[in-house]
Structures are given as C-alpha cells and as structure tokens.
Structure 1
Amino acid sequence: MTALARPALALPLLVALQAPVLAFDLVLPSAAKPSGERVEALASHAVATGPWKAGTLPTTTAEGSLRQTAWKLAGADRGTLDLLRPLRDQITAAGFTTVFECESTGCGGFDFRYGIEILPEPEMHVDLGDFRFLAARRDGGNGPEWVTLIVSRSADTGFVQLTEIGAPVAGEDVTLSTKSDFTPDLAETGSIDPAPAALPANPVTGPVAQALSAGQAAVLEDLSFASGAADLTASDTDSLRQLANWLVANPDARVELVGHTDASGNAGANTALSLARAEAARSALLALADIDPARITARGAGPDSPRATNDTQEGRAQNRRVEAIPAPTL
C-alpha cells in the first residue's frame, strides 16, 4: 500500500480504499465516505490535458476499463490544495506522471467543469470558484493507464472524485456491459438518492417542450425561490418534468439553464445567487431522468435581464426565475 508522502498535513487516521481497475491503493482520510460510483468494463473517456481556452478543451482519448468514484469529507476545513496534495503524491509514487494540473479559473472555470465528466449531485459537488483538477498517466503492461482527480469543497464538506481508466487485461472478456456494485453502508454514508423514476408518456407536450422544439427559451414558471435564496421550494415540478421528457425524447439536444434574480442587493452577489439557482434546477432535473449531465449546463445572469419591474413585490418575484435555452449540439 502506498503511504502518504506528506505526513506534515496531520491528516486523521487513514483507511485504504481499493481501486480494482488499477493496481494501486488510494488512501483517503478516515472521514471520507463513498458517495457514488460508475463502472464500465470497456469505455472511451476524454481526459482533459489543458485548460478551456478560446472555446476549446484539449483532450486525449483513453480507452479501457473505467471506474469513477466520489467521496465526501464531512466537516472538512482544509483547502482544495490540502485535499489534492496527498492524493497527488500517492499517484506519483505509484508511477504516474502528471500531464496536466490546474485550479479553478486557471482550468477555465465554468466551461472546463462542464467539459469534463462529473458524477451528478449529490454524489459529487464542484464549486466553480474553488476546485482543482489533475490528470496523470503511466505505461502499463497492457497499454497506457490514466487517472484524473477533481477536488472541491463547500462550506463544511470536501469532495473528491477519482477517475481510473485502465487498459483491458489480455484475454479478459469485456463484451458484456457491467453495472456498478456500489453498495454504501447507509448507516455511515446516509441515504443515496434512488434511480430516477420512469417518465410518463407523451414526452414532448406542454409549453416548455413546445418552446424548446421551436428553438426558443422557456421559463420554468413553477420554480419558486425566496428572496436571497437558491433552494427550490419543490424539486419535482411540471416544468422540470416537461424539460426532462423533452431531453429524453431528443437525445442529441442540449440546454443551458440560466438563473436570474431581482435587483435587490449587491449585483455581484446576485450573479452568484443566480448561478446557484440554475445549479439547483440542474440538480433537480438530473434527479428526474437518466440524462447525461454534460447535456445540461448552468449559468447565472444576475439582475441584468428583468422581465418585469423591480419596483413591486410581484415584479421582483417574476424576475427570480430560471430559463431553459436550447444550446448547440456537441
């Protein structure tokens, strides 16, 4: 087992977390609890090898067995570098060479985060202003092996996602698809959201679906936000169901969720709040159906595009909204 190379960080008691795709153990603090996993016997995965710049994310395609695992560290009070550094040391000690490493805006911020594959909320959370990414490679006996790490945090929780892409073992039968065998101890990790429910028939009915089919923006009218808050009062609404149905019925379509605020308060805080509202709508949408998260992006417009006066309570309520806008296909 690989030991941590930087004991000066004074991490708590460590436990080994097996990584069956690649032949090394990753050690995380004992406070880390697994929150999600995706396994594929044979997959192609785009590994970011540079920052998002001028509308492009440089990538290389890695092929082989794939495993993505996410962990949460409740009560984490260390920064993203403190989260990343001991894991990076272990990856280096296992014979991997770092190909690319970046932090938040240096990665490309919003565009970079939505250009890479991340397990959905609540399994993995990425703060757009506070995350770090690393991609590393080593040459194995059956071909190149890759690992990527992305770490982030909220006010009281650290988040880690490890992606491993290992070359198939010679002679191994990888013709059958596999499903994750992730079975967390709910007594330790808390409940995991169940699989999205099946959507009803008539997938493209309703004003939201009709507007998107016509290439127009659609306001998710029944999403409700209190003034100054990003939490949805209801996460399963008719407009979100219409949007989910439309995305399922149009598998090549992409949408951008744009959050808006009223004009109350500081403009910079309102822009951050509007992004948080769009992210909340995105998380609720992904919980409704099995949709590739890369097809749904989120953006905050703040108070810049009011649709009603900000001089009345009713007008301000109308301006606190999220819109779904058709986006170009990849």
Structure 2
Amino acid sequence: MTRLAFGTLLALMPALCQAQELTMAPAARELSERISPLDNYELPIAGFADGTVPVRRFEGLVARRTFRINGASATTLQLLTPLREQLETMGFDLIFECEDRSCGGFDFRFETEIVPAPDMHVDVGNYRFLSAVREPDNAISVLVSRSGNAAYIQTIRVSPVQQQNGGKTKPATVAAAPNGELGLALERDGHVILRDLEFDSGAGGLLPGQHASLGQLASYLKTHPEQRIALVGHTDSTGTLAANIALSKRRASAVRERLVNNFDVDPSRVDAEGMGYLAPVGSNLTPQGRESNRRVEAILLPAL
C-alpha cells in the first residue's frame, strides 16, 4: 500500500485522524508497547505544587509506548518540538508543557506515570513534558529525557472506545498486522523485542497474561502465510554461559508454545533458540542494563 501524502491525510475524515500515531525520528528504536483496550489515565495538566500534580482523568483505549535514540545529540526541546507540531496538525490542543525544574523536577517525575525501566529512563535534571487534548475524549502526553548519550521518549495516549451493536460499548481493537506496529517493525528492522512477556526469576515458564505482542505476532503470521520467525531468548551475564543459553532457550520455547496453543500458530513456522548473554543491548554492569538484556525477540526468517 502506498503512503498517503501529508496533505491528503489532513483532508480525510476525523475517524482516520484518530488512528494516526506520532512519527518518531528515523533513529528512534521502539522499546515497548503496552496497550490496554479499556483503561484509565490521569493526564498531568500542571506542574507539581502543594504536594501533588493536578490531573484530568480519561478513560478508553490506553496505549503506552517508549522509544530510545542511541548517540543522540539533540536537546530535549529539539526532540519534543516536531512531536508537538504533529499533535497540533492532528487537531490536539496543547494544555500544558514544562521543562524539568518548571515541571517540579524530582517530585513531578515521581508523581507522574512512567513506564518502568529499562523501557523508559528519566533524568530528573534533563527532561521535558507536554500534555494535549482533542475534545471530548482524546488525550496524549509526551515525555522526553536525555541520559548520557541516549534519549528516551514516552507517549501515553487515550483514544475513545468504539460504539457498536446498537450502542453497546465495545473496546477499540488493538491494531494488528498487516497494519500493526509490531508487524511493521518486524519487516522494517528484521526483529522486534517482545517487551510485555514476564518470567519468574531464573525460570523458563512464561507467566499468565494477555500479551498483546503475541496477539499481534500471531495476526502477522496469519496474514503473511509465507513468513516464518525464530523466537530468541536472551539473558544477562549472571551465571555460566551454558546455564544462560539453556535458560534463554527454555523461555523462547515457552513463548513458542503459547503462540501455538493459545493463538493457533502453525508450529512449523516458529523456531525457538537461546543466545544466553552473547547479544546484550545494555551494560551488564548496571541493574537497568541487565534488565534490558533479559528479553525474548522475534526474528524474521527467509520466507518459505
């Protein structure tokens, strides 16, 4: 499908505009996507004062996304400005914007919802925040921070649920392949980290959960019958290489089993492998780095 020109997008109906997402810089790598079909979000509308952060509560489909730009030299203002301009083009009204100290520094950061590390990191002395609303029930916040030679971006967006079946409310459907973000990232980068998977410490079993990433991955495979993938487990550097390779493969195999049994994916199209600590994405000298290294990735293999 060809990409619509920017001017054409502006002329389309409002329903399509609601489906638009912010376009990040080319160097930005998505770290996480957490989508709750029906949830609430307390949108900050002012800085920290009198022991609290004033908020406005929204309900609907809540999408929490984080991104990282390695080797970033741009300031937080340079990173935030194009995102603010996109929101204005999409019809959002900016209701609050602040910079670290004017936000409330440490207090604002810890009174505001932040996606847990390692998917988001906030330097309390170097961040910017904005919140915007498109009435009556669309809202978004954008948080940008720099730490060392990396920049982090978090967006939390609330969209209204769809009205179907004679007025009964049905949660909006999370985007799925071929147009889902996970499928697009898989084709663009050749691999994607499945960040919403959880395992017991030192164990290979996948804990129960909705696991939106597996739903999108299964949808992608069903709509692309020629494609196949490998699930690859990774660990931090604690312990021996042999033990970590075994653990990482058990975790990848548990994810494969969940895809096959819960999402009806053809087992012949999914391999499971373990790399142990041989392919880190962060430093094993820090807790944040070790946490980011403990992951399962989906890798796109040559088509059948």
Shorter-chain TM-score tier: 0.5 to 0.7
Matches within 5 A, 1:94-173: 94-139=90-135, 143-171=136-164, 173=170
| Structure 1 Cα separation of the partners of residues 64 and 195 of structure 2 | 17
Higher helix content, 1 or 2: 2
Q: Deviations over 1:181-203 (max 9, x none)?
A: 84754966785668343269xxx
For residues 173 and 119 of structure 1, do their structure 2 counterparts lie closer, same or farther at Cα, with a shift above 3 Å needed? same
Instruction: Give the drift of 1:131.
Output: 0.5
| Structure 2 Cα separation of the partners of residues 47 and 130 of structure 1 | 21
Q: Paired residue for 1:89? A: 85
What is the percentage of aligned positions where both structures have the same residue?
A: 28
Choose the corresponding residue for 1:37, options 24, 33, 38.
33
Tell me if structure 1 keeps the 8 A contact 2:99–2:129: yes
1:71 and 2:67 equivalent? yes
Give the alignment's TM-score, normalised by structure 2. 0.54
| Structure 2 Cα separation of the partners of residues 130 and 58 of structure 1 | 21
Stretches (4+) displaced over 6 A: 175-181, 282-288
- The one-letter amino acid paired with 1:58 is P
Q: Paired residue for 1:58? A: 54
For residues 67 and 21 of structure 1, do their structure 2 counterparts lie closer, same or farther at Cα, with a shift above 3 Å needed? farther
3-state SS in 1 of match to 2:140: strand
Choose the corresponding residue for 1:48, options 14, 35, 44.
44
Aligned residues: 195
Give unmatched runs, 5+ long, in structure 2: 7-15, 203-236, 240-285, 295-304
Q: Deviations over 1:236-266 (max 9, x none)?
A: xxxxxxxxxxxxxxxxxxxxxxxxxxxxxxx
| Structure 1 Cα separation of the partners of residues 5 and 109 of structure 2 | 29
3-state SS in 2 of match to 1:24: coil
Instruction: Give the drift of 1:100.
Output: 0.8
3-state SS in 1 of match to 2:23: strand
- The one-letter amino acid paired with 1:163 is I
Q: Paired residue for 2:197? A: 195
| Structure 2 Cα separation of the partners of residues 157 and 189 of structure 1 | 21
| Structure 1 Cα separation of the partners of residues 114 and 124 of structure 2 | 13
Q: Deviations over 1:38-60 (max 9, x none)?
A: 10111111111111112111111
Give unmatched runs, 5+ long, in structure 1: 4-19, 201-232, 236-279, 289-330
Tell me if structure 2 keeps the 8 A contact 1:124–1:159: yes
| Structure 2 Cα separation of the partners of residues 74 and 169 of structure 1 | 37
Instruction: Give the drift of 1:25.
Output: 3.7
3-state SS in 2 of match to 1:31: coil
For residues 26 and 187 of structure 1, do their structure 2 counterparts lie closer, same or farther at Cα, with a shift above 3 Å needed? closer
Matches within 5 A, 1:224-239: none
Tell me if structure 2 keeps the 8 A contact 1:33–1:188: no
3-state SS in 1 of match to 2:98: strand
Tell me if structure 2 keeps the 8 A contact 1:102–1:133: yes
Choose the corresponding residue for 1:174, options 147, 171, 174.
171
| Structure 2 Cα separation of the partners of residues 61 and 284 of structure 1 | 35
CA RMSD of superposed structures (Å):
3.8
3-state SS in 2 of match to 1:28: coil
| Structure 1 Cα separation of the partners of residues 48 and 290 of structure 2 | 27
- The one-letter amino acid paired with 1:44 is N
| Structure 1 Cα separation of the partners of residues 147 and 174 of structure 2 | 35
- The one-letter amino acid paired with 2:128 is R
Tell me if structure 1 keeps the 8 A contact 2:94–2:133: yes
Q: Paired residue for 1:247? A: none
Q: Deviations over 1:57-98 (max 9, x none)?
A: 111101111111111112210100000001001101111111
Matches within 5 A, 1:240-255: none
3-state SS in 2 of match to 1:114: helix
For residues 75 and 285 of structure 1, do their structure 2 counterparts lie closer, same or farther at Cα, with a shift above 3 Å needed? closer
